[in-house]
Amino acid sequence: MTTVWTIGYERLLAPELVAELQVAGVRRLIDVRERAQSRRAGLSKTRLGELLGEHGIAYEHRRALGTPPDIRWFYKHHRLAEGEAAFRAHVTSAAAEDLDDLARELPTAPPTALMCLEADPATCHRRVLTDELRRRIPGLAVVDL
C-alpha cells in the first residue's frame, strides 16, 4: 500500500519538524508552499533543505502545488469551502501534470511527506492535494502528522 504523510509547521520549530518526520520514517519532504519562505527561523527553503539533508531527509519545493495568494485569502478568512473549491479548480487545471507526476512517483519513492504552514490538515490545501492523489492512486493511505 502506498502512503503519503502531511505536516504543517505552524506550531513547530525547525528541530521539532525534523523530529516528527524522523519518528514517522519520512525520507523525503515536498514543500507545497507557493513561496517557500518563512519568518520562522530555519523554515525557509534553503535553510530547511540544509537542515533536512543533515538528517538524511531529501527536500523538494514544488511551487505548482502551492496555493496562489488569491486562493490563500479564502483559507485565511475561514472560507474553507470556497478555498477548497478554488484550489481544486486551480490545481486540477494548472498543476494536473504535477499531480500526475507525484502520483506516479509515490509508489516507489522514499516515504514522502507534503509540508506547508497550516497545522490543521482539515483546513489546508494539503487536504485537496491528498484527495486528488487518492483519485490517482487507489488505496493511497494518508497520514497527517
Mind listing the pLDDT tens digit for each residue in 12-33? 999 999 999 999 999 999 999 9
Ordered structural domains, the chain, with CATH: 3-144 (3.40.1010)
Write phi, then psi, for 30 (nearest 5 degrees).
-110, 115
* Cα gap 1→139, rounded to integer Å: 7
- Segment 79-130, tens digit of pLDDT: 999 999 999 999 999 999 999 999 999 999 999 999 999 999 999 999 999 9
Q: Which of 53, 54, 64 is nearest to 31 (CA)?
A: 64
pTM: 0.95
